[in-house]
Amino acid sequence: MGADLRSRLLGQLSGLDRAALADRGHGDLAMRAGRDTDMVREWVHGLAVWVVLATTFVVVLPGLAVLDPVLLLVTVGMLPFLVWVNLYFPRRFAAASDELAEAHGTRAEAVADLLQLGAGLRGTGGHRPLVDRHATASATVTERTVEAARIEASWAAVAPFVPRLAVAVGVGVGGLSVLDGRLTIGGLVAFTSWMATLTLATRVLVQRLLERGQADVAAARIDEALSIGATVTDPAEPVALSSGGDLELTGVSAVRDGVTVLAPLDLTVRHGEFVAVRGATGSGKSTLLRLPARLDDPATGTVRYGGTDLRDAALDDVRRRIGHVAQRPLLLTGTVAENLRCGRDLTDEELRAACGTAGIHDQIAAMPDGYDTELGESGTALSGGQIQRLALARGLLGDPEVLVLDDCTSALDTTTERLVLERLKAWAAGRTVIFATHRTAVLDAADRVVTLAGHHDTPPEPANVVAGSAPILEADRG
């Protein structure tokens, strides 16, 4: 059950787009798939104990009635107090557990930022605020943990005290019954033994209720994560995409956090064309390139491939035909081959061919274990240029009809870049390539260059302006 719940949660989170996760921290979400899932699993794992607890009370109470009705009365008299204790403390413990879970989520965010950004900021001293943030979050976790522990300790002490008090009263009443001859000494010993069993059962009951309180909070957090809705979704009745069509972006714009990051524009990329997209920082190049692969959907306008609106097609179909290589690619912890395959059924020859096109095969072959070389977390064993070329090879292995590249040669030297571009153009024969870049070599290699003007800029009079699109200029190459 625990594995299934974690699988469902990770499956949900991995399928969410950037907009759906904009207000969610990765560290906190990881806590929901880790600590919270474990708490629910532990609660479910102990459900059988309730059968033992119920059996204990069902057997012991009638036994006490057979011994002496007065002893039964003493035992039953403790139940209202026991019920009150187990109603009073759970409410306080649930509130403390909720605050503790939130504190753990905040600290997980601080840890994630410290691990991901700390090394890059260390040279500027910028890692110190991250360390301080983690220290503050850890202090809050400690404070919330101690508060929850106080409530837990009080609950665990008071609840068993009630049946122990009943034992003391029962020994006094039972002793008088022994003197009167209404109860034997053996019966009194049996009463204390059975009450000891009830005391143990009460302690177990409290532990189960403690776990239930933690599981309630954890389940609510998991349910919240499972309820996050994606902004990029599959249509109810997907339409199949046709192969080899033109890619048309009509009136597309993008808004993020209320700010327009891509002004409305029109752009048509013909089948088999190599188009370079350039523009100043902040002009929306990366945002524009996320639209064809439906990593984001435009705020306005439509994106069509072969005349079909991509929002009418299945996401898997779109991403099988339109591949995207990000500006800052991510690598997995694992081998070179695992990073290239990403779970796909690909032969070693296919891996070598893609890496050859990306100009990285010789360097991989020179590694200690070749394609079986472990890269470490996020590919820390590779340089920036190697990571870009490995990501490019991974994109080529999907054999897309349209390949969208977001400045994926920015870390390469000019010689290596020209080699990669020559091989990429040979691979792309009959395929469409859109390449966001500021590099001269890519601009020279493109069939056509499209220039994005900042949406707050006033562009100069263009020689050839795309119809209906003020912020985009276009220059054809022979």
Give the lowest-confidence range in 116-120, 217-221, 426-430: 116-120
Length of the chain: 478
- Distance, CA of 53 to CA of 204 (rounded, Å): 8
User: Could you read off the pLDDT of 369-384 as tens digits, one per residue?
Assistant: 999 998 876 666 788 8
- Distance, CA of 229 to CA of 220 (rounded, Å): 16
Q: What's the whole-number average pLDDT of the chain?
A: 86
* Widest distance between CA atoms in the chain: 117
- Distance, CA of 123 to CA of 234 (rounded, Å): 44
| Local confidence band at 166 (pLDDT 50, 70, 90 cut-offs) | confident
pTM higher than 0.75? no
User: Could you tell me what percent of the chain has a pLDDT over 70?
Assistant: 91
The highest-confidence range among 6-15, 302-311, 367-376, 453-462, by mean pLDDT, is 302-311
Q: With the CA atoms of 120, 126, 127 and 131 taken in that order, what torsion angle do they form, in degrees rounded to the nearest 10? A: -160
Judged against a pLDDT cut of 90, whether residue 418 lies above it is answered with yes
- Which token pair is 438? 């500021």
Can you say how many angstroms the Cα of residue 393 is from the centroid of all Cα atoms in its chain?
A: 26
DSSP string, 116-152: HHHHHHGGGTTHHHHHHHHHHHHHHHHHHHHHHHHHH
Judged against a pLDDT cut of 60, whether residue 43 lies above it is answered with yes
- Distance, CA of 96 to CA of 181 (rounded, Å): 52
The highest-confidence range among 24-38, 298-312, 377-391, by mean pLDDT, is 298-312
- Distance, CA of 110 to CA of 121 (rounded, Å): 14
Can you say how many angstroms the Cα of residue 280 is from the centroid of all Cα atoms in its chain?
A: 32
Percentages helix, strand, coil for the chain, rounded to the nearest 5? 60, 15, 30
Strand (E) or helix (H) holding 59: helix 49-67
- Number of CB atoms found within 10 A of residue 303's CB: 22
